[in-house]
Structure 1
Amino acid sequence: MKRLSVCMIVKDEEELLPRCLDSLKGLADEIVIVDTGSIDRTKEIAGQYTDLIFNYTWIDDFAAARNESLRHATGKWILVMDADEYLSAEDYPKWNEFLDNEQPVHHLAYTLPIINFTGDKEYQDEITTSPVTRLFPNYKGIHFERPIHEQLTLGSEGELFHKKLDLNIYHTGYQNQRVSEKNKHERNMLIFNQMKSQSKMSEYDWFTLGNQYRYAKDEQQALECYEKALKGASSKVVWYPHCLVGLITLYYKQNQLHESWQWTESKLSKYKEYSEYYSIKGVHYETLGFFEEAIACYTTAIEIAETRARKNQEIWLVDPMYSFDMPVQQLIEIYFRMNNNQQAIYWLSKMLNKNNKNPRILLKLAEWLSFNDTPESVHHLLNQIYDQKNDTEMLLLYKVALALGKKELIKAYSPFMRDEKQYTNSDQVRLAVIQQNKEKWESYTSLSFQKDEDSQLYRWVQTLLGALIWGDCQPLEKIERLLENGQLSGLNDLMIQFISKDCIPEDRLVLENYSHELFLISKQLFILEQYELFDKFVKIFETSSLVNQLANYFYSVNLLDLAMNYYSILLSRQELDFNSLENLGFYHAVQNFEEEAVEFMTAAIQKEPGARHLYRFLIQYSKPENKTYYVERFKEEFPQFSSISFVKQFIDEKIIT
């Protein structure tokens, strides 16, 4: 008997089907494909992998189509997959171990984690997991029921039990682009509406309908469906914690923290042996300014995950992000906010050690270190994390060195850049500016200009930097014809006037419209150590927004003397924005200047009364006669929040004392 049959139903899947079938080559003994009406090359592609291709007339019933595929399977085991899913060759040893050693039991099927990539772009995915029962023994009477989000059953032969396995299936079917291409939402909603009209909705169906609304960004409808699902469901069913976390997450997103906290404490607390409970609890503490409590929760979440990993236990309940990535990211943000840079850098390093392919984390760490340590020390640290024999990793380090404008790091990693194709034209322009090579700068700025908006801004800034350094407007005049971004086009004209005529508009409001771009230019001049040009540029283009952005940037990379100089200027003009006031508040609190800290935090909430996390600080540190005032402000702004248990306890204690 064949060992494994993979059963699939497909329609118009020519784009992703090859990836799926390629991933099965070393594992499946046979592949059964039921086609429900493809009009593209799906069946032609499938024919390159299997002869078991069967036509089937679609009747708006996934279970019926699935069962048709099972009918043709001859393997000992059946694995059900979709065309937008695939297996990883790295997992083959675990698959083979199971398939060779597990004995089939007629009433037992296996639940596998589906790793979902749900982001807008394949290189910027959000990752979630969901459990799906997809693996089961053949010839035991196991089949599918329910027309959508079909479930396995034994029917009248008894109850089907489910066992979790650590065998991953990877899924990209709900990436936004794929949803748009396949109109999955409309198709699924048609089936759901038919089921509702016939009163055939089970708790599980309400859960899956909630997921459908959530993917469609209809959060209110998703909330209602999740609540209906949880109302009658047993907490022992495998999908229950996924529904619960989904409900809590949506309540939190809608700023209904009272409800999200209640569900967390009343239901999610039953899963204290997993990280999810502590990570989600930590988010509530952090949101309302209880930073020490949040830190304790995030740290506990990480410790629980590490302990479970050491014991070879299932690490997460619902989503791997709650066990490390999310709590670590929040710890980094809290520690930077509280000006505890040492702890922030420690956790940045931990995150990078876990996943050194994350360019955002690498850049954040390298940028901070580049201002606070020697190039040799930064180079030494990065060499401990990255493999010099790995070309991809060296390319990433080189790109980061280029972004940081650090000649020493560029020199260290440039020998690994052996292929000219690894450089974009914009990279070459950037390198020429860093190396002060005007001839090279002129050469590469004359090449074709990419029309992508993101690269357009990057390329334009690099071109402008050279123009400012060498006082040469010609490349800016050439690039003018190619700029599609109206904002950049107007600013480009302004820069040409500045360089050629040393003048700018008298109306300063015009400059406020370009505050983000002016900040990027100023920041790059500083990074490139063009200090005289930086001072001149900032003086000429100075606006409240630009100075606030610069002050907060210097604060974020621990250049505190520079930051305080700019903050002083803004303070004297009464032009500190919310972020500046908040930074100054936390800075003075760390220095134990509590009275000054309260003054800055008070000014901050006057600008943004909705800053939920600042009220706890003000109630904690304000003078006794002012505590009631801030409590009333908080209750007025957030009437529901004061009844949250930990908030109520805190307020009661502070008012009584």
Structure 2
Amino acid sequence: MKRLSVCMIVKDEEELLPRCLDSVQGIADEIIVVDTGSTDLTKQIAEEYSAQLYDYTWSNDFAAARNESIRHASGKWILVLDADEYLAKEEYVLWNDFLETEKPIHHLAYTLPVINFTGDKESDDEMTTAPVTRLFPNFKGIFFERPIHEQLTRGTQGELFHKKIAMNIYHTGYQTKRLIEKNKHERNMSIFNSMKKDDNMSEYDWFTLGNQYRYAKNEEEAIRCYERALVSDSSRLAWYPHCLIGLISLYFQENQLYLVDEWTTNKLVAFNEYADYHTIKGIQYETMGFFKQAEECYLEAIRIAEQRANKDQEIWLVDPMYSFETPVQQLVGIYFRLNESKQAIYWLSKLLNKNNRNPQVLLKLVEWLCQHESQDEVTVFLNKIYDVSNTADCELLFKVSLVLGQVELVRYYAGLLSTLANLSTLDQLRFGIMMDDQKIWLDFSGRGQSEYEQQFQAWIQMAVGAIKWNGSTKLQNVAKQYRNKSIDDLTVIMISFIQGDFVNDDQLLIQYADNLFSVAKQLFLIKDYENFDKFIQAMKTPELINQLANYFFNLGLTELAMNYYSILLAEQQLDLSSLVNLGMYHANQHFYEDAVEFLSAAVQQKPSSKHLYYTLIKHADRKSKSSYMNQFMSECSEVINISFVKEFLTKEKQISVIK
């Protein structure tokens, strides 16, 4: 008897079918392909892979088409795949072990994780997982039912049980490009509408319809469907936690934080043996400014995931990100906020060790290290994680150093590369500025920068070069290439500065404060401190000074940040971010009176800043507590009944009335 039959239904899948069929060549004994009306090369491709090909007239019923495919299967086991799915050949050992050792049981089918790539690009995706039951024994009376998001059943023979196994199916069908190509939403909605018209919707169907609305960005309808799916207790079913967490995440997205807490506290808590629950609970605490409580939740999520991994248990409930990446990323943010930089760097390092191809983590880590460690210490650290004899690794470190404006690191990694010929024109310009090579700057024409953002990035480098080499004319000539009014305005500002004229248009300086900050930051990073100081004095607006102060504060350059904050404080020009940074800094240093003063000013600027009230109320004197609590309850009334918020307010109210 044949061991494994792979059964598929397809239509116009010439683009992705070869990948799918390639992925099963090593384990499938036969491939059954039921075609529902292809007009492209799908059938020819299937025949090239020696698939058994059958034509089938589409009847708007996925279960019927699936049953047609399994009707032709002769293997001991059946695996159902779609053309936009595939297996990993690295996991063949797991598949072969299962197929050889598992004994078929008539009432048992197998649930596998489907790894969904849902972003716009296959190389830079968002990833989620969902369980699907796709593997089952043949000749046991198991078949499909439900017209859409079809489910396996034994019909009148009794209940079909589901066993989770750790072999993965990979799926790219809901990437944005594929949605456009296949019009899946319209097709699926027509089936759902027919089912609703016939009053044929189960709880599972409401869940899958909610998913459909969510992919279509109709959050209101998705919430309604998820709520209908969860009206009764289906918690033992595989789809239930996915529906529950999907609903909670949509409540988050819609800022319905009371409902987030209600569903987490009453329903999701049943799954507290998984990291997912603790990560989600941590995000709730953090959103409301309960940072220490959030920290405890994130650490617990990581601990539980590690514990489950050590016991060879299923590590996550719904999303692999909840077991490590998300809690660690949140911890990093909290530790920086609490001025616990060493802890933040520790967890950033853990993230990078887990995935050293993550550019955001690498950028953040290198940016901070370069301000606090010597070049030798930074390179020793990075060279433990990366193999600099590997060209790809060395190029990554070189480009990150280039983007961050780290001259010593750029020079070091450039010396390890055999060629820099592959640099983009923008990177060549960055390299020339950092290496003090005026010729590269002079040779830059400005052509080829078609994208809006690229034009501004190129202009910033040209502006820095113009400041270094007194090159007003060159900057003006390049700016003309872009035909961009904003760049023209910025160029007028920059030429006035270079020529020593006073820039007296405050509105223009305020309008372009972000771009001027980018120029100032670049001057600082390449250590051209003389021009940096002159530039700040000439462009000295509150908007620019606040940005600089917060930039230095977030880099851990506290003394430098405080110099700028002092200037702003004297002129009463601190913006919201500056007030929050100063408030949290003084709270972390136990200077509570100052902390309250800054945070009070922050909530005056933005009374709806619900994450600030916890620290403000907690550290206010007894006389002021009531006033801040009243303000919080007035401005943020939608969150005051959240369980942990209510408990906190009750406790603080008791403190405030103590004589």
> Given the two structures, how large is their TM-score scaled by the length of structure 2?
0.95
CA distance in 2, matches of 1:25, 1:511: 63
CA distance in 2, matches of 1:390, 1:43: 43
Does 2:168 align with 1:189? no
Rate the CA distance shift 1:406–1:138 in 2: closer, same or farther, 3 A.
same
1:556-575 equivalences under 5 Å are 556-575=554-573
Rate the CA distance shift 1:484–1:340 in 2: closer, same or farther, 3 A.
farther
Contact 2:153 2:160 survives alignment (8 Å): yes
Greater Cα shift, 213-222 or 17-26? 17-26
CA distance in 1, matches of 2:372, 2:650: 43
Deviations along 1:344-388, whole A, 9 cap, x unmatched?
111111111111111100110111010001111111111111223
Q: Match for residue 523 of structure 1?
A: 521
Rate the CA distance shift 1:645–1:525 in 2: closer, same or farther, 3 A.
same
1:171-570 equivalences under 5 Å are 171-420=171-420, 422-443=422-443, 445-446=444-445, 448-483=447-482, 486-496=485-495, 498-499=497-498, 501-503=499-501, 506-570=504-568
Q: Match for residue 651 of structure 2?
A: 653
Does 2:97 align with 1:136? no
Deviations along 1:443-467, whole A, 9 cap, x unmatched?
3x23741323443333332233222
Contact 1:133 1:162 survives alignment (8 Å): yes
Rate the CA distance shift 1:30–1:516 in 2: closer, same or farther, 3 A.
farther
Specify the code of the residue in structure 1 equivalent to 2:58.
Answer: W
CA distance in 2, matches of 1:415, 1:26: 45
CA RMSD, 1 decimal? 1.9
Deviations along 1:150-197, whole A, 9 cap, x unmatched?
111122222211110111111122122322232211111111111101
Specify the code of the residue in structure 1 equivalent to 2:363.
Answer: L
1:595-606 equivalences under 5 Å are 595-606=593-604
In the TM superposition, what is the alpha-carbon distance from 1:248 to its structure 2 partner? 1.2
In the TM superposition, what is the alpha-carbon distance from 1:318 to its structure 2 partner? 0.8
CA distance in 2, matches of 1:489, 1:55: 63
Rate the CA distance shift 1:485–1:137 in 2: closer, same or farther, 3 A.
farther
CA distance in 1, matches of 2:142, 2:491: 67
CA distance in 2, matches of 1:559, 1:392: 32
Contact 1:642 1:648 survives alignment (8 Å): yes
- SS in structure 2 opposite 1:6? strand
CA distance in 2, matches of 1:547, 1:170: 49
Contact 1:446 1:475 survives alignment (8 Å): no
Contact 1:494 1:504 survives alignment (8 Å): no
Rate the CA distance shift 1:502–1:54 in 2: closer, same or farther, 3 A.
farther
Contact 1:7 1:32 survives alignment (8 Å): yes
CA distance in 1, matches of 2:537, 2:619: 38
Specify the code of the residue in structure 1 equivalent to 2:462.
Answer: T
CA distance in 1, matches of 2:485, 2:58: 49
CA distance in 2, matches of 1:516, 1:5: 60
CA distance in 2, matches of 1:272, 1:484: 57
Q: Match for residue 634 of structure 2?
A: 636
Q: Match for residue 113 of structure 1?
A: 113
Q: Match for residue 69 of structure 2?
A: 69
Specify the code of the residue in structure 2 equivalent to 1:622.
Answer: A
In the TM superposition, what is the alpha-carbon distance from 1:484 to its structure 2 partner? 6.6
Rate the CA distance shift 1:103–1:453 in 2: closer, same or farther, 3 A.
farther
Rate the CA distance shift 1:504–1:215 in 2: closer, same or farther, 3 A.
farther
Contact 2:414 2:420 survives alignment (8 Å): no
Does 2:578 align with 1:580? yes
In the TM superposition, what is the alpha-carbon distance from 1:477 to its structure 2 partner? 4.0
Rate the CA distance shift 1:521–1:202 in 2: closer, same or farther, 3 A.
same
Residue 589 of structure 1, aligned match among 587, 590, 593: 587
CA distance in 1, matches of 2:212, 2:593: 51
- SS in structure 2 opposite 1:152? strand
Contact 2:95 2:167 survives alignment (8 Å): yes
Specify the code of the residue in structure 2 equivalent to 1:457.
Answer: F
Rate the CA distance shift 1:550–1:477 in 2: closer, same or farther, 3 A.
same
Contact 2:596 2:616 survives alignment (8 Å): yes
Rate the CA distance shift 1:421–1:212 in 2: closer, same or farther, 3 A.
farther
CA distance in 1, matches of 2:22, 2:488: 47
Deviations along 1:393-415, whole A, 9 cap, x unmatched?
22211111212222332233224
Contact 2:288 2:610 survives alignment (8 Å): yes
Q: Percent identity?
A: 56
Deviations along 1:411-433, whole A, 9 cap, x unmatched?
33224433555422221111111
- SS in structure 1 opposite 2:133? strand
Does 2:65 align with 1:99? no
CA distance in 1, matches of 2:604, 2:127: 38
Greater Cα shift, 425-434 or 68-77? 68-77
CA distance in 1, matches of 2:518, 2:176: 30
Contact 2:447 2:481 survives alignment (8 Å): no
CA distance in 2, matches of 1:82, 1:224: 29
- SS in structure 2 opposite 1:294? helix
CA distance in 2, matches of 1:461, 1:4: 60
Greater Cα shift, 77-86 or 371-380? 77-86
Rate the CA distance shift 1:83–1:542 in 2: closer, same or farther, 3 A.
farther
In the TM superposition, what is the alpha-carbon distance from 1:133 to its structure 2 partner? 0.8
- SS in structure 1 opposite 2:332? helix
Deviations along 1:301-356, whole A, 9 cap, x unmatched?
10000011111111001111111111111111111111111111111111111111
1:11-160 equivalences under 5 Å are 11-160=11-160
Specify the code of the residue in structure 2 equivalent to 1:549.
Answer: Q
Rate the CA distance shift 1:100–1:338 in 2: closer, same or farther, 3 A.
same
CA distance in 2, matches of 1:483, 1:313: 57
CA distance in 2, matches of 1:494, 1:126: 41
CA distance in 1, matches of 2:422, 2:477: 25
CA distance in 1, matches of 2:60, 2:483: 46
- SS in structure 2 opposite 1:231? coil
CA distance in 2, matches of 1:55, 1:641: 57
In the TM superposition, what is the alpha-carbon distance from 1:441 to its structure 2 partner? 2.9
CA distance in 2, matches of 1:515, 1:92: 56
Structure 1's unaligned 5+ residue stretches are: none
Does 2:596 align with 1:610? no
- SS in structure 2 opposite 1:209? helix
Specify the code of the residue in structure 1 equivalent to 2:583.
Answer: G
Q: Match for residue 165 of structure 2?
A: 165
> Given the two structures, how large is their TM-score scaled by the length of structure 1?
0.96
- SS in structure 1 opposite 2:48? coil
Contact 1:299 1:327 survives alignment (8 Å): yes
In the TM superposition, what is the alpha-carbon distance from 1:439 to its structure 2 partner? 1.4
In the TM superposition, what is the alpha-carbon distance from 1:525 to its structure 2 partner? 1.1
In the TM superposition, what is the alpha-carbon distance from 1:112 to its structure 2 partner? 0.7
